[in-house]
Every structure is written in structure tokens, then in C-alpha cells.
Structure 1
Amino acid sequence: MLPIRPEIEHLRDSAIIEVWRLGFVVPDVIGLWAGELDVPTPRFICDAACEALRAGKTFYTHKRGIPELRSALIDYYRRLHGVEIPDGRISVTSSGMNAVMLICETVLRAGDNVVFVAPTWPNAVRAAEVHGAQIREVAMRSGPGGWTLDLEQVFERCDARTRFIYYASPGNPTGWIISPSEQRSLLEFARERGIFLLADEVYHRFVYDREVAPTLLSIAGPDDPVFVINSFSKAWAMTGWRMGWMVFPESLTMAYEKLIEYNTSGGQAFLQEGAIAALQQGEPFVAQILERSRTGRKLVQDRLSRMRGVRITPCNGAFYVMFELDSVSDTLAFCKRAVTEARVGLAPGVAFGAGAGNHVRLCYAKTEENLTRAMDRLEPFLDRL
């Protein structure tokens, strides 16, 4: 093999992708493995991008995104959360994943470690590994009341080489939502220890027991060691656009202008016009999608709760159900069997790290028809196990 960095040579494949690949060679699979809506991007967003193309907006842009989009993001935070974010703290990114990579490039050195609240999105974990960091996971507990986090365990896992603590709220795959008191405790600890917090708020619009999920930006000051990442993918059905944003400490503005220059040299001008339309005109669509997800959530939870050997952990956010299987110890093998025998695509718990155990993730951001068909297929399959 050609000489490459050991972190790349030993990089693990995603267990979700293993199942996904299998699903592409099995006919008529209902894919509930991926975290995306099954509707295309709304027409008004596409029209804005197409109009920008026709108007010749095809040139290099500001490294942190066009000023109009940054302004729209500032207005969005003001409207949704009542917080004021200075322009210098915001950057548009080429996806939420790109934001994670930029943060890792900024703060990680070989031998550092990162503490992840788990179960968690595997891509973020792999990003830290690529940059030479050791991974320390703190497992949440699942129970009848939902997922719970012991903050003392998070604090105990931190040491002098810990560079950041990562959590997602609403969580992928758990749907867990951090409380304001937990946010305050984490922020106080980060300030005292000089450790960054990385809050993944990509699913911020998908909440079912309150108006909006709390954002860390409501309590963090401009110089606090806080990163917040977000994305246009979920709320506006824009996964294929690969557009996100991040908010960072005010002192890092110029660092990110330079770092983005040497990563992507900035985002596509015409796509950013579509993102402006999403922020400024997208509330009716977001409300529609949220109601659709609420319906899918109830349908799936009701059906799964009646299936043999299945235990559901309640979720109040995102658009996944994590369910536990009594008779399954190898969730990757189970999900592969579900593809070939039931023709239902699920995500194995092993992909999400500590705490996932014998859980399986199902995305319910789909049509009622497809969810019903999937449940009809899954029930007899589980009965045969």
C-alpha cells in the first residue's frame, strides 16, 4: 500500500454505509437508514438559486459566505431565539460536516482527546480521529423517560489534553434535548478548564414538546470557548446542496477566513441565494415538515411498541426512533438481514458508539404510506427472530 497517514489508513467504514450499499442491490427496499426527508427541496428555494445562476452569480464569494446570507442568518437567530450574533462570528460552510472538519483543524493536535456524548453521529467522531485525536465517549442511559446524561461522567473524562466536548441537541440518533441547566453547567466547566464546547444543533427545528430547542448561543458570550454548527439539510430538505454554517468565538474571525480559503475558497454564490430564500421564506414549509414528522413519529412508535421483543426509548427531538431488540446482539448483522429478508433499511446501533448497545435507528421523516409499509414488513420479520 502507498504510504499514507495511519489515521487515514485505519479509518473505519461507516456501518450505516455497509447496510446502505447492500440495500442498493436488493430490489424494493424501503430505506429508513439515512437522515433525510423524502421530499425534494421546495420550489421557491430552487427558483432563487436558478435565478442567481441566470443572473451570472457564478464567481468567487466572500470566504465566510455572501454578506446577504450572513445577514439572513443573524435575522434568523434574532427571530427564532432572540439572540444577537455579530457578523464576525458567523461563517457559511460547505455542509455541517465541513464545519466539523474546520473546527477539528483549528483546535486538534495529535495526542489530544475529544469527549463525545454518545450515542452520537459517527461522522463527527471520525473527523476527530482523522486529526489524530483520541476518542472518549460518555454513554447516555436509555429508559422509559427518554435518554439521560450524567454530566459528572463528562467532567471526569476530561483532562489536560481534552480539546473539546461534543454533544448534539436534538440528538442524532437519540432525539435527546439538552436542558438549559445542563448547558449552563457545561459552559461553566468549559470556561474554568479552557475546553471548547462543540454544540451540534442541526436538528434544531425538529422538536415535539416545546416551541424550539435551546441553543447554546443564548447563554454563551462572544469570547466563550463555544462552537455551534448547523445545516440547511434537515429543516429545508437540502441534504444534496451541502450547505451549513457555524458560529465561533469572535477572536477566530480572521483564522476562519484564512482556513476556509485553503479548504474550499468559499461557497457557491448561487446556492447561497437559495439558502437566503430558505431562511426568509421557509417557515410555512418548516411547519409542514414538522407536522409530517410528528405524524410519522406517532405512527412508528405506536406500531413498534406492539411488536414482540421491542423496547422504545421516547424521543422529543430530531426525526429518529431508537428501539432496542431483546434477541439481537449484533445490530449490523440484524440490519443486513432486515434488508434482505424484510426489505427495510435501518441503521445499526453499533454505528453510533457507546450506549447504543442493541439499539437500531429508524428515520421516520418519510411518507405515512412508506412508514406503514415498512412496519407491515418489519413485524413478521421480528416475529421470526
Structure 2
Amino acid sequence: MDRPACSPGALDVSTLLSPRMRGIRASQIGLVADRGRDDPGVVKLWIGEGDLPTPPFIIEAAHRAMQAGHTRYATSLGLPRLREALGAYHARHWGVEIPPDRFTVTAGGMNAIMQAAQALLEPGDEIVIPSPAWPNLAEAVRVTGGVPVSVPYRVDAQGRFSLPLADIEAALTPRTRVIMVNSPSNPTGWIMPPDEMVALRDLARARGLWILADEVYAHFTYGGAIAPSFLQICTEHDRLIVANTFSKNWAMTGWRAGWLIYPKGLDGTFAKLGQYNTTSIPTFVQHAAVTALDEGDGFIRTMVERCGVARTILIEGLSRLPGAAVAPPDGAFYLMARLVEDEASLPLAFRLLEEAKVGVAPGTAFGPEGEGFVRICYAISPELAQEAVRRLTAVLGR
């Protein structure tokens, strides 16, 4: 077959890409953020990122590591000392014993999800994803040739989200390979009840399916207890992969450090995936991550308490808007709220950016099931939460 000529301007070069890559979707969060990213007057609540800087004790640990010469390649699974610290962290918070050979260190939570998708999916394999969902989940699946299958959350009149296990089971087909669970959920705040986790585990065992658990927001709960983990109910031989990140707990979004936990015996597979994805993450970052795990529990508590205050301010203030549905989320640090009736999410996000100078994420960024909602990140100071309420009320309360 003749190849198209390479004359300048004669061809849309995107047509030369694989069909899989042409199907990757742009983020609607980015569409909104790009309009106001450089405006210092905007209250920016669109990105899943807290407004606190990385705590000094973590920065100082990275600095010490660099000065000590820890600036060279590391093993692709991660430093043994870091994987041991990850084991101690999980034992401390969930009472589970995970040996170092079941951890791999990744370039953030996104790379953790990507490596899991690469490990589990063949082209055409289906992965069930409750929706609305963090858009990167479905796109990572598409990059690897898999097929994301959305299972809509149920939403009541107050805006509360739920997900009966029967809805997940109804979505299974002979092509299903993986069930994705993000609990606590971004963006809905839903937390899977422990009895349903056990039932899902049993369903996965009976059907020979994998569970991919995104447990990034486990500490961000508002009932006094940490969110349960699938690690507490599964064995080292179950088809379970758990993804996590340093980004949220320790205000380390830009450091790009995360981890995966996989069944016993897969360390060789993930050593190769780590090698060919990133080689390794920076060695000094890994030393800082050890310090975060060993010394950072107090900072996590501060973050969660601060989010809880902002959560209350936003819920109480925005619930007064006429026609609004602002249900308290059980976990994570987002409000998935219906602020107005009969206005599409993306135009509403643009309007709030222009008229209120408040940046929110449109609900449809998280799938068509998010239409009518906006997502508001409340990992912010109480003062900023009050200012956001004031601005939004001035525009939407007319």
C-alpha cells in the first residue's frame, strides 16, 4: 500500500496513529482548567489536589538523600527499604502482613493503574468500572486495548450515591476480566460496605475474575474510621491488585510516587513492567517516601481534619441554593453536587469560572453518568471554602 505523502500541511498527522490512540479522550477537567489556570483571582477547586505544600520533613529527607548521592538508578520494584516501610504502614493501619516482594513502586497512582492494566488486559478484554469515575481509569484501559464497561451508581433525590452488587454482576459478560473498585470513590465519595466487599470477593473467586482496587483515599473518611481494604479479606493468592499513591495523604502530587500490591509470585512480572515503563522513580524521592510513611501519620490526620471542616462549610453553604442536591460524601475529598437544575455540566463549569471566578470540574468529565453534577475538591482551607461558598451563592442564589 502506498504511504501518504509527507508534504507540510497536507495531512492531519493524528490519522497516522493507531486507532487505539485516536480513541483516547481529552479531559474535560483540563478544558475548564486551561481557561483559568493562569488567573490568580480564580478559586481553583477543579483538580484533585490539596492546597497544602509537601511538609518540610519530607522535603528535607529528599534533600539529605540527594546530598548523600542517592541520585542514581534504583531497582525497578523500588528500594527494599521503601517496600519494607510500605509493609509496616499497611500493618499499622489495616492489620495486614504484606511482604516486600508483593510491592512495586510506581510513578504515582496513574502509573500504578497503567501497570495493572498492562498486566491484566488483552485487547478486547472488558473491565467493569462504576461510574461516574476518575476519567484516567477508563483511558488507561483504552491505552492497553481493553474495553471499559460502565456501571452507573444509583443516585437518590438528595444526591447520595449507592451501588448494589447486583448491578455489578449484571454487567459481567464472557469478555469480563477485571472488576474495578475505587473506594472511597473519586468523584462520588461512596465507600463500599464491608459485607459487599466480601460478596464481591466471593463473586470474583467464583467467576475467575480479578479485582483492581484503587484505595487512594482510604484515610479520607468522616465517620472516625479508616476505610476498609480488600487486603483485609483476601489472601496472597487471590486475584487482587491494589493501587495507591503518596500524592493525597502527604501532599506529594508532584513527586510522582505510588505503589501496587499484587498476589504472591508476580514480583518478576512487575519488575519487568517497572523497568519498561519508567526504569525506576528517582531514588531520592523513594528515600523521602520512606520518611513520609514512617513519620507522616500526624500529617495525614491534620489533612483529614482540615478536609472535614471545609466539607462541612461547603455542604452547609451550598445546600441553601435553590434546587441544589449536595449530599455529604462518606469519603475522599470531593463534593459531587447538583447545584442547579436543567443546566449541562460543562457549560455550567465554564459559567461558574467566568461569573463566580470559581473553578470546578464538570460532572461529565467523569462519564455521561455525571451529567448535571459538578465536582468540587474540598482539600482546602476553611477560609477558601467560605470564599467559594460566597462566590457561588452570589451567582447561583439569584
**TM-score interval (norm. to shorter):** over 0.9
Normalising to structure 2: TM-score of the pair?
A: 0.94
Normalising to structure 1: TM-score of the pair?
A: 0.97
Q: Deviations over 1:272-297 (max 9, x none)?
A: 11111111111111111111111001
- 1:79 and 2:92 correspond: yes
Aligned position for 1:158 = 172
AA aligned to 2:170 is: E
Q: Deviations over 1:51-73 (max 9, x none)?
A: 00000001111111101110000
1:257-268 matches, within 5 Å, as 257-268=271-282
One of 373, 376, 382 as aligned partner of 2:387 = 373
- 1:216 and 2:239 correspond: no
Aligned position for 1:236 = 250
1:302-317 matches, within 5 Å, as 302-317=316-331
Question: Distance between the aligned counterparts of 1:61 and 1:193, measured in 2?
Answer: 38
Consecutive aligned runs of 4 or more in structure 1 exceeding 4 Å deviation: none
AA aligned to 1:119 is: P
Paired residue secondary structure (2:287):
helix
RMSD: 1.3
- 1:357 and 2:367 correspond: no
One of 42, 65, 69 as aligned partner of 2:78 = 65
Equivalent pair of 2:315/2:327 in contact (CA under 8 Å): no
Question: Distance between the aligned counterparts of 2:341 and 2:132, measured in 1?
Answer: 20
Question: Distance between the aligned counterparts of 1:77 and 1:160, measured in 2?
Answer: 35
Question: Distance between the aligned counterparts of 1:119 and 1:327, measured in 2?
Answer: 19
Aligned position for 1:100 = 113
1:1-385 matches, within 5 Å, as 1-2=12-13, 3-24=16-37, 26=39, 28-143=41-156, 144=158, 146-384=160-398
Equivalent pair of 1:139/1:354 in contact (CA under 8 Å): no
Question: Distance between the aligned counterparts of 1:266 and 1:215, measured in 2?
Answer: 27
Unmatched segments (≥5 aa) in structure 2: 1-11
AA aligned to 2:107 is: S
Question: Distance between the aligned counterparts of 1:136 and 1:130, measured in 2?
Answer: 15
Paired residue secondary structure (2:369):
coil
Q: CA deviation at 1:222?
A: 0.7
Equivalent pair of 1:137/1:354 in contact (CA under 8 Å): no
Question: Distance between the aligned counterparts of 2:38 and 2:99, measured in 1?
Answer: 49
Distance 1:25 1:72, change over 3 A: closer
Distance 1:338 1:241, change over 3 A: same
AA aligned to 1:374 is: A
Question: Distance between the aligned counterparts of 1:145 and 1:157, measured in 2?
Answer: 23
Question: Distance between the aligned counterparts of 2:56 and 2:278, measured in 1?
Answer: 27
Paired residue secondary structure (2:278):
coil
Question: Distance between the aligned counterparts of 1:329 and 1:372, measured in 2?
Answer: 24
Unmatched segments (≥5 aa) in structure 1: none
Q: CA deviation at 1:151?
A: 1.0
AA aligned to 1:331 is: S
Q: CA deviation at 1:309?
A: 2.1
Q: CA deviation at 1:360?
A: 0.8
Tell me the number of residue pairs that the alignment of Structure 1 and Structure 2 aligns.
384
